[in-house]
Amino acid sequence: PERIVILGAGHAAAQAIDTLRRRGHRGSIVLVGDEPHLPYQRPPLSKKYLAGTHERSRLLIRQARYYSERAIETRLGRRALQIDRRTQRARLDDGSDLAYDALLIATGSRARALTVPGADLDGVRYLRTMADVDSLRTGMESARRIVIIGGGYIGLEVAATCRQRGLAVTVLETQDRVMKRVVSEETSAAFTAEHLRNGVNIICGAGSLEIASHAGTQQVRAVVCDGCEHEADIVLIGVGAAAAQELACDAGLECDNGIVVDLHGRTSDASIYAAGDCTSHPSARYGGYVRLESVDNAFEQATTAALNMLGEPAEHDSVPWFWSEQFDLKLTITGLASGHDTVVVRGDPTSRCFSVCYLRGNELLAVESVGNSKDAIAARRLIAARSHLEPHHLANPACGLDRLPA
Ligand code: FAD
């Protein structure tokens, strides 16, 4: 393809650009992003950038010079509104049209909105972009109390950061334990204990929710949960994210909880690819289709899509990998646990250093490691090799995962 257009300027876009130029693409590349920034790293947003210990310039995945030296045309602060597949053009919100020979959709995901009474009050916030964090930080300067709705990894990371900055923090989670969708009971318990130890108030099984304002104003005052009032100067909603797939759906591309792509990153239109959070992709390793929200997945899928755009056949089949940090505790999830029939806990779950292993017929599918980076690294290799392991070997924490007979 002579002209490549990339819609969305995040992790996947940055990686696709790098692969395209490294592999010798000499044609034009246009990068369109609705945020006013070059692609930046999102993970620090709820961690060091929110804490104020990470400079804004350090967020950029690559500095401006990198793009100019590689003749990347950037259209930042511009939103793509429509894809016309017949004429192979993308329409932007300034009325301009970009012709493409190959298109990459890398629009990521968006924070899921919560529809409870008061969700539109001043002081109710979401966290997805640098702008979200900048305004949250400004709000935090005069705030004493924050209530976080949602005990997923973003809600909990924000809880930890706010607590470290001296705010009183309450987390309201509707499930019976935090991070239930992604981790085991042992891991939920370890992170809950870490938060409680640091003075975060966590309430699970939260039922009916309502956000109340100061009388006669639009300013948030409290979150009312099951009749109990939790006072708040700021309310942060962290109830998950949804694929930013509208452009693709409107253009008639197949979408189903994400833009459906094949193992090559190609959509149902052969000249349109998609990568990152916005996609639903087949998993050769685990079967079925998955939509993943992780930097690693964006990176790997974008590499694959870029190679295929250039006619170099490549398949996306890497072991999924994700991390979170809350206070001093680090969580790494390697692989996908769905379909497991056996769970083995390695080490003492109250020790702040343990792993939970998921197997199917003795094949290692996934490992959650808490404070145990050695296991996390070894797990990736073992899962990639489709290793079959004896549960009683795994259960012995004295025997390093890297030394287990595969
Ligand atoms: P994004 O990085 O979201 O980029 C997509 C871009 O496209 C955005 O700038 C969006 O505004 C733009 N866009 C959307 N629609 C349009 C349009 N129509 N026109 C133009 N531009 C558009 N992952 C981890 O692995 N570890 C972590 O610790 C971790 N922490 C996280 C913390 C936070 C607060 C958040 C929000 C995410 C975190 N993630 C983490 C997830 C990770 O950041 C995402 O998986 C990753 O950013 C996905 O990359 P992407 O390129 O698919 O999408």
In angstroms, the CA 128 to CA 113 distance is: 12
- Rounded CA gap, 119 and 129, in Å? 19
> Residue 323's closest CA among 284, 293, 303?
293
Pocket of ligand 1 contains residue 74 by CB under 6 Å: no
pLDDT in tens, the chain (406 residues): 899 999 999 999 999 999 999 999 999 999 999 999 999 999 999 999 999 999 999 999 999 999 999 999 999 999 999 999 999 999 999 999 999 999 999 999 999 999 999 999 999 999 999 999 999 999 999 999 999 999 999 999 999 999 999 999 999 999 999 999 999 999 999 999 999 999 999 999 999 999 999 999 999 999 999 999 999 999 999 999 999 999 999 999 999 999 999 999 999 999 999 999 999 999 988 999 999 999 999 999 999 999 999 999 999 999 999 999 999 999 999 999 999 999 999 999 999 999 999 999 999 999 999 999 999 999 999 999 999 999 999 999 888 888 876 6
Question: Rounded to whole angstroms, what are the CA distances from 79 to 36, 38, 95?
Answer: 10, 14, 10
Residue 284 is predicted with a pLDDT of 86
- Provide the 10 A C-beta neighbour count for residue 266: 19
Main-chain dihedrals φ then ψ at residue 303, nearest 5 degrees = -60, -45
To test the ligand 1 pocket, which listed residue (18, 107, 161) has its Cβ within 8 A of the most ligand atoms?
Answer: 107
Is the CB–ligand 1 distance for residue 324 below 6 Å?
yes
Residue 306 and residue 21 in contact, taking contact as beta carbons nearer than 8 Å: no
Q: Is the CB of 271 under 6 A from ligand 1?
A: no
Query: Cα dihedral angle (38, 43, 49, 51), rounded to 10 degrees?
Result: 170
Q: Is the CB of 300 under 6 A from ligand 1?
A: no
Q: Residue 406: what pLDDT?
A: 61
- Residue labelled with tokens 């500095």: 63
What was the ipTM of the complex prediction? 0.99
Pocket test for ligand 1, best of 42, 83, 316, 319 (most atoms within 8 A of CB): 42
User: What is the pLDDT, as a whole number, of residue 404?
Assistant: 77
**For the chain, how far is it from start to end, CA to CA, in angstroms?**
43
Q: Which three-class secondary structure state does DSSP give residue 49? A: helix
Altogether, the residues listed in the chain come to a count of 406
Q: To 5 degrees, how large is the angle CA 166–CA 172–CA 178? A: 95
> Would you state the pLDDT for residue 296?
96
Distance in angstroms (rounded) separating the CA atoms of residues 385 and 151: 33
Domain annotation for the chain: domains and CATH numbers? 3-110+242-309 (3.50.50.60), 124-237 (3.50.50.60), 328-403 (3.30.390.30)
Task: Answer yes or no: are the C-beta atoms of 109 and 293 closer than 8 Å.
Answer: yes
Cα(281)–Cα(288) distance, integer angstroms? 8
* CA of 241, closest atom in ligand 1: 36
